[in-house]
Chains A and B, each alone.
Chain A
């Protein structure tokens, strides 16, 4: 490996080094603040390292990683979201027993996310995915004194393990038939020898199934409710943003490079999954009485919207996906941030009944939560609207009328539960029971306010972000 190779993967190296340093520090000098500071510094350095890496792109580093603009852009997004989650977690964990290792797991998971964003080989795909998932088992079950997180962690462990097995089996089938693990070789090998196609398709279907599980796309969405509800609020934010985003980013690269747009059968599977996710996700969310669970099912629907962009493909797709993911990241950080702020060590306060009339007691927090809900519903002057605009545009550009029509119907259904939350927040009769919670942590408040502001400012003037994505991709 040359010097340029190392420069190209500098963000990954910085992150790994930070992990080791943070581990050593927390072994000898157990201070929550110190570890947190190191981790934040590491994440920011890794973010800064994107610029030296940018000077080397596009560059293939070993056969496993492809560092290009695409990888760096989404890597940056993952890093920023990780910074947000780490900041949220600091306030959340301030009274927890032994909070330091939380950040190690967070770093490992983010490293996995970065690997996924730049992977174009089955080996790195699997490595990144497992790095992400295994860290998440620990993160979800981090408050081990409570049974709900433990239950959620074990559920996620077992189901995620099954999904990984599916994925591996699919990869094995493809390797057995085509003799390659590299994305772009798959498309070449499959097109030159059509006789393989049945086994290859079977392998692809298995791989899509495994990935769909991580994305919680219908029919692989069963885990969402329990895991979201059990996971501590900052981890919920991480699950919804980085964990799903990184996998989606990988899929968005995998699909065209492996030549899957040429396989109508696979596209039909993806289309059906998108339609089912949008409808079923929103329908399930209608019935929820707990905010975290509701956000979980709403994420099923939002992944469905993202699949619309994915299936549509076309010149607009990458840009659209980038904007959608960014908007979704900011929105969910805001929403889970509010839950984090209102929670204490007794457990998370997320029953909708507890949020009744919150606006009249805590206008700022409730205001941000309202903005995030409007953003999720796709109402203009929020980032969520521009994102939905992109999704509809991507679908219409490729004349995917079935998907666009479903998107419209599903959004209308989704409005109902977002509005229900708004009604609870602004209800005059209800008495919020969570006003007695301790004062907010400054770190949580920072994330929440930043998310709220970003949603409105970029929602009203999205030009800088659009230009960034349009120019980079």
Chain B
């Protein structure tokens, strides 16, 4: 029941926020803020030491004809991601407090619905329910890009939707193929995760089914070569859209890989590992190189996302506990760092009406506080020791070295390139000759506050990542299962 409430709170608040627009433009903002704080508090209270696989479970009948149930469950891994999502939801509501001034109610409705959908995705243990939520969360996200985005938003929104929905249908076909196989063996239909886990699978069929799942998640992650929607969508989305997209939606792809590829099909996932690792390493280097070549602030950050999520993919398929822990840490780090950079891009765009790096330069003397913040987040993005990103990337590389040393060495080059793009970002924006005299305000107290909270968390996890691993080990399933599945 608790889990159901966890989904319902943002959903109902979304409806309320839309309706409350009539009362005044600040009502939806406050409703969204309060609801997300409540939900986050709720999610935090769920943390408890437990030796069971699932901390909490609930299962209600839904469509008995096909054995579809409303099955929600949470373990340490999903709880971690839920908390991250709710926190970033909070941050995105706060950062768009002044940026969004048109159709405020509908905006917050969409933000809250996206968050409700993602929380649902992290909780669903019925494949039909999972797929439903997986697709449903696209619609409000689509609106976030298409209505409040920048100049080429329609194209970007449509591209985003077609990529994710099209790959989703491939996953639907894979789910159904799995269900019919289960039906052949047992004579019953079931979409339940725990039952489908026991489907005897083998050979060619299994590979195809797993590939169906893999494609959907690889598009969302995104892994090269399915990444081309990401730069467009990020560039065109509003700040809140980018924050939600980078911080929350991309994580659903990684979560799906763990839950519905590696844990659901341990042996087949092992067979696919060489392919996944190759894609991951290509993604790390290719994303970093492309980031280096960008002239658009947001596009640059978007490509760093491709690179960072490459580490996640690498860590998940490397097959050691160390690498898996590193991948999860990298997810958290990326979820804090990239939104920070997107927020800065949004704040700069609000002031300069441009994202073009060529038009920036010399801003440090004009807006020093913003410069310092950018410097910090750029350092975090390049994996500076002492910050969260370093822990993630380091553990992934060390963990991968044990099983795939060559790939680990090549991937380490990615960290080198990341230094170049991160420093270049700071240099082209804030250093050099100041352009035409600009009278733009520095970060306000509120904006500084939001960024500072992110920065504190990044430092905290960088110096003391234990809480994350603690929560992970509350659900021994994730790491242990992964490690034994992929020797």
Contacts and interface: CB of A to CB of B under 8 A. Distances in A.
Contacts of B172: 389, 392
Interface of A: 360, 374, 377, 379-381, 385, 389, 392-393, 396-397, 404, 407-409, 411-412, 415-416, 419-420, 422-423, 426, 428, 461-463, 466-467, 470
5 contacts: A374-B139, A415-B161, A416-B162, A428-B103, A467-B65
Contacts of A461: 62
- Top-9 shortest CB links A-B: A412-B166, A380-B132, A408-B169, A396-B176, A380-B135, A466-B65, A419-B158, A415-B162, A380-B136
Interface of B: 62-65, 102-103, 131-133, 135-136, 138-139, 142-143, 146-147, 154, 157-158, 161-162, 165-166, 169-170, 172-173, 176-177, 180
B158 A426 contact: no
Contact of A463 (B63, B131, B133, B162): B63
B136 A420 contact: no
B173 to A, nearest CB: 6
Q: Is the interface of A mostly helix, strand, loop or mixed?
A: helix
Contacts of A423: 146, 154, 157-158
B158 A412 contact: no
Greatest chain A CB density within 10 A among B131, B135, B157 is at B135
Contact of B147 (A377, A426, A462): A426
A412 B142 contact: no
Given A379-B138, A404-B173, 13 more contacts: A374-B139, A379-B136, A379-B165, A381-B132, A385-B135, A393-B180, A397-B180, A407-B169, A408-B166, A422-B142, A426-B143, A428-B103, A463-B65
A380 B134 CA distance: 9
B14 to A, nearest CB: 14
Contacts of B161: 415, 419
A380 B131 contact: yes
Contacts of B103: 360, 428
Contact of A470 (B65, B166, B176): B65
B136 A381 contact: yes
Contacts of B166: 408-409, 411-412, 415
Contact of A412 (B135, B169, B177): B169
B397 to A, nearest CB: 37
A412 B167 CA distance: 9
Contacts of B135: 379-380, 385
A419 B138 CA distance: 12
Contacts of A407: 169
A428 B147 contact: yes
Contacts of A411: 165-166, 169
Nearest to B176: A396
A159 to B, nearest CB: 34
Nearest to A467: B65
A360 B172 CA distance: 34
Contacts of A379: 135-136, 138-139, 165
A412 B143 contact: no
A396 B157 contact: no
B181 to A, nearest CB: 10
Contacts of A381: 132, 136
Contacts of B173: 392, 396, 404, 408
Contact of A416 (B136, B158, B176): B158
Contacts of B131: 380
A172 B65 CA distance: 44
Greatest chain A CB density within 10 A among B135, B143, B169 is at B169
